[in-house]
Chains A and B, each alone.
Chain A
Amino acid sequence: MSETITPDRKSILANIRIQRFTPGQHKSAFYDNFKVSVETGMTVLETLRLIKNTQDSSLTFRAFCRSKICGSCAVRVNGKPVLACSTQLMPILEDFKKESVTIQPLRNMPVLRDLVVDIDPVIEKLSKMHPYLMENRDRIPESLEQESLMSRQELSRFDYITDCILCGSCYSACSAASADPKYAGPLTLAKAYRFSADVRDDFKGERMQAAVDQGLWSCAQCRKCINVCPKDTRPAVSIQRMRKMSIDDGIHDTPGSRRAKAYTEDVAKYGQVNKPMLPVIVNGPKGWAAIEAADNYLRKHGIEPERQVCLLDGQNSAEQIYDKVKEIESKGENKI
């Protein structure tokens, strides 16, 4: 027996607070408030479009596919980078228990107007990363009569990164990018890893150098990029893997790779990091200056510096962990 369908649809009168700024017209950014009747099912993008169509046609934002695949409409909602098109507004209003929401442009990129940021600097960084496959002729036939074969396992090393839509959310959230404007950013380094991990590629060396030059070791592994990525591409994981690849490839002469090597070797040897020696290992002999400064500081406060690493009990547990890691690694790098 059929029953009439009556969908449960409600509506809340909400205050939408939006950051505005037009260079040349305004001295600095400011906020406009718009009253909007938000209905069940309305996305942030629909709300922005409703405001533009009915209240203020000069409100400026980007949008194209409306279906989470083009990456145009990334903005910050209550501080968090999201795609406006795939973010429902009603649950946010209900979660925050207030009838107001703040929408701002992404961070770490210059604002062109209102919610539109200039992504060209990021695209330029990406372009310098050799973000393309260079044919490995051992794997890719010259002739188009044949396919190149690739196993599912080989594909799984990088397939998760190909979901990236270059929306810039990770770049906005990146603490290293806000600290150093020259840093390449999560998406660009992840893209470099995507190609370097592809068995069909033959350009790893040059690309690795580009990644090192553009800050492969500057990432703080804060993992904010992982939290905000709308496509779950986990850039910080790719950066880690790219670092490991660089060390495996014998690039041992960068401060970051020296630090990483020292960390792993120390923990294997002592069960902990030999911190007092890190400045020398990372920066070479001039690291002694840092050690001396630390020594002087401690003495000034009446503490005698200790150079010895004290060994802890249970050292063989660390060894067991190392063995387990090696075992997992030998099985390949699947999506975790």
Chain B
Amino acid sequence: MMTYDILIVGSGGAGLYAALESRMEEELQVGVLTKVYPTRSHTGAAQGGVNAALANLDETDTWQDHWFDTVKGSDYLADQDAVEIMTREAPMVVREMEHWGCPFSRTDEGKIAQRPFGGASKPRACYSADKVGHVMLHTLYEQGIRHGVNFFNEWLALSLLHDGKRCQGVTALNIQTGRVHTIRAKAVILATGGHGRIYWTRTSNALGNTGDGTAMAYRAGLPIKDMEFIQFHPTGLRRTGILVSEGARGEGGYLLNGLGERFMSRYAPEKMELGPRDLVSRSCETEVREGRGGPDGEVFLDLTHLGADRIKERLPQIRELCIEFEGVDPINEPIPIKPTAHYSMGGIHTDLNGQTPIEGIYAAGEAGCVSVHGANRLGGNSLLDILVFGKRTGRHALEFARNNDLVPLGMDQEKADEAMIAAMMAGTSGDSVADIRRAMGELMAEKVGVYRNAKDLESAVDTLAELQERLGRVRVQDKNRAFNTELVSALEMKNMLDLAEVVTVGALARQESRGAHTREDHPERNDQAWLAHTLATRGGDGKPKLEFNPVTITQFEPQARTY
């Protein structure tokens, strides 16, 4: 049986940072298991910046300012002790990335360059042109090669193993061969990223952001937290959900409905297109709901009035993106857009060291929830989260692995997983993963999306149960075990449906509007009743059971969130 001291599931920024932190100090065997190749992880898609109060651009910036901005941005749902750690340690982790060779853009004096970002009171987003996530991910991978991290590329983790108290390891599918294996480990770190794909085509996320680690933890009885909070970005491309960055509106782009009206005048007559993300997303959605959308339920981001020269000079990347991914040249015609699911604030419940209630099982990054983003994440804080908590989790797992032995482990789960896959692959059926997936995405976008209400959410819970039944009947048509991507999709589908249910049940329970969660039937934030984290565990009946934990408030009393 394969045995590691520390096994990390997921190879994005959090997983790789954790691997480096646990690998550097001593001769422990550290493995990183990923369903892609490490440099393909979704961390690479982050374009804008990573926040740290380096004060390179504005010397008055402090980590305490960053702390407050983050807490306010979270609509006061973030735990303030966790945010304090993240913002205080931010300069260290960013400098460590820099020392490892990460090519940040530079100021005139040769320091790390910083730019202003939404919700931040000072310019503190450290950047590398428009590719900061990409260069961070590659830097971490390169250092991983240097320090002898073992990579399991194109392996899909299936089940998380523990004895009720201590971590035992995981089972995983080798995608290239199609075989299931048990991997023993003293510590497992789940760093599998978010679950934006529960909205299927209505997301900016990678095809594989299916919440695998979060779903594994949930099925293994661990609590998952604040799952109802999903951040929507207002301007995703119509076909693919790929983001058109805020720069296009900053440069003077108009938002038009299908009738050609500049509709933001109805919702934010002063700020117009430059209102906060959540407000703009809701406005776009309202136009479509009230029948003023385009032929495909879209609205339009119009740049044509800026003229070819200005578009070519100031927005060349946005233009390229529209041509390549949507087949539309913004010089000639308006860009069709839809609000798109962008970030999962919720995830596996952990303490400040990334530890779950089961000893030796950890989670970090978008898969985890410490919580530092609360009800709404600020731009530039997701990359920071993966660095700070990837590192802390790696360090804590290292200590744990150093001081503990392996726990006995049988082959039962491997046999059960193998049997499940064999059953999925036996015979034929009329239902396909693709159909169920599309139905789930449409349902989630329509009923558990930007706007929510009790009636829609209740019907969504019922529909999701039907989809679960349909998934049980799905048979994989491709009968070859080697590199069977249809099988992988079916396994991911199972993860997504489990999480979609928790998101929906959480959204139904939370009778208030806070951050990214907007209830039409409960439009106000309600601190008396709902200044609390939602913890979901899987009940004996397979349905999520909810509990609520108080929010940690150490410094900033909740106030109205206005900008």
Contact = CB atoms under 8 A, between A and B. Distances in A.
A181 interface: no
A149 interface: yes
Contacts of B208: 64
Given A4-B258, A132-B145, A70 B327 contact: no
Given A68-B324, A113-B482, A119 B37 contact: yes
B96 interface: yes
Interface stretch (A50-58, A282-290, A291-299): A50-58
A66 B206 contact: yes
B256 interface: yes
Contacts of A22: 480, 482
Contacts of B242: 66-67
Contacts of A147: 54, 95, 98, 111-112
B101 A201 contact: yes
Contacts of A277: none
Contacts of A165: 39, 44, 134
A46 B261 CA distance: 31
Contacts, number: 195
B305 interface: no
> Chain A, interface size: which category?
35 or more
B105 to A, nearest CB: 8
B260 A53 contact: no
Given A5-B334, A155-B103, A67 B45 contact: yes
Given A57-B477, A64-B206, A144-B92, A5 B106 contact: no
A198 interface: yes
Interface in B74-131: 91-92, 95-96, 98-101, 103, 105-106, 108-112, 128-129, 131
A116 interface: yes
B256 A2 contact: yes
A140 interface: yes
A7 B478 contact: no
A135 B145 contact: no
B39 A70 contact: yes
A162 B483 contact: no
Contact of A60 (B110, B295, B325, B483): B483
A148 B45 contact: no
Contacts of A264: none
Interface string A53-83: 1100110110111111111100000000000
B480 A58 contact: yes
Among B100, B262, B300, the most chain A Cβ lie within 10 Å of the Cβ of B100
B432 A132 contact: no
Nearest to A41: B327
Given A41-B328, A58-B477, A71-B39, A112 B483 contact: yes
B335 to A, nearest CB: 10
Main secondary structure of the interface of A (DSSP, over half): loop
B274 to A, nearest CB: 20
A87 B324 contact: yes
Given A41-B239, A57-B478, A66-B242, A195 B207 contact: no
B207 A162 contact: no
Nearest to A40: B327
B526 interface: no
A2 B261 contact: yes
A88 B295 contact: no
Given A57-B432, A64-B208, A113-B482, A148 B328 contact: no
Given A70-B40, A144-B96, A5 B256 contact: yes
Contacts of A146: 95
B486 interface: yes
Given A41-B326, A57-B486, A144 B39 contact: no
B323 interface: yes
Contact of B324 (A86, A123, A127): A86
A5 B260 contact: yes
Given A7-B295, A64-B206, A70 B261 contact: no
A46 B45 contact: no
A90 to B, nearest CB: 6
B40 A72 contact: yes
Interface in B203-231: 206-208
Given A87-B324, A88-B327, A123-B37, A60 B146 contact: no
Interface of B: 36-37, 39-42, 44-45, 54, 91-92, 95-96, 98-101, 103, 105-106, 108-112, 128-129, 131, 134-135, 138-139, 142-143, 145-146, 153, 176, 206-208, 238-240, 242, 256, 258-262, 294-295, 300, 321, 323-328, 333-334, 336, 432, 434, 476-478, 480, 482-486
Given A57-B477, A64-B206, A88-B323, 19 more contacts: A4-B259, A4-B260, A22-B482, A24-B482, A41-B239, A42-B239, A58-B478, A65-B45, A66-B325, A68-B324, A132-B142, A133-B143, A144-B91, A149-B110, A159-B103, A159-B129, A162-B103, A166-B37, A201-B101
23 contacts: A41-B325, A46-B240, A57-B476, A60-B484, A64-B208, A65-B40, A72-B37, A86-B324, A88-B327, A91-B327, A112-B483, A119-B37, A120-B153, A123-B37, A131-B142, A134-B146, A144-B95, A150-B106, A162-B134, A162-B135, A165-B39, A166-B37, A195-B101
Interface of A: 2-8, 22-25, 40-43, 46, 52-54, 57-58, 60-61, 63-72, 85-88, 90-91, 112-113, 116, 119-120, 123, 126-127, 130-135, 140-141, 144-152, 154-155, 158-159, 162-166, 195, 198, 200-201
